[in-house]
Amino acid sequence: MQLILDFPTIGEPHYAQAVPADLIRNNGQLKLFKIEDNNHKYVTKGEKDSKVIREGNKVHIYMTAIRSHFSPDNIEGVKLGDEVYFHITNLEQDWDVPHGFSVKGATNAELLIMPGETSTLKWTPDRVGMFPIYCTDFCSALHQEMQGYVRVSPAGSNVPISFSLGKPVVE
């Protein structure tokens, strides 16, 4: 490989390298994941399809991840005693951009969701409160903005399910 440029970038903790485009294009490194090909039972194919659905004491959250946010990122109406299922679809099309997912206080694993794929994390809240959700895989310079909140209300409360993107549920 003939290196044509090699330098640290100023103002960012990254290191840049440049090579001729042919080296990437002709060696199978250009891979795209079509979201239409995802036939997962709990897929969310676009942000407009993200939603939160209650079925008895189960709450199904159909969420998307793309740099640098989750949709929805504010969820309300989960109650103590519920089982929460985060079904997260990574909408990225580039092969090297996985996203992670975790909810603060979860006692099981985090997720690593590859581009175009859907994965589910089950969470059983053990107390009332506001719970941050966040990406656990460094995905871009704005990775740390990739977060949101789920409010858990007391068992028997009448807070309805609601969700939004980029603004508080209660204004």
Q: Which residues bind Cu ion (CB under 5 A)?
A: 99, 135, 139, 146
Which lies closer to Cu ion via its Cβ, residue 121 or residue 152? 121
Separation of alpha carbons 125 and 103, rounded Å: 10
Instruction: Please identify which residue in the block is written with the tokens 């581009």.
Output: 115
Which lies closer to Cu ion via its Cβ, residue 76 or residue 92? 92
Residues in the chain: 171
Say if residue 68 is preceded by a cis peptide, omega within 30 of 0: yes
Helix, strand or coil, per DSSP, at residue 4: coil
Which lies closer to Cu ion via its Cβ, residue 147 or residue 162? 147
Shortest CB 139 distance to Cu ion, Å: 3
Residue 112 in contact with residue 137, Cβ under 8 Å?
Answer: yes
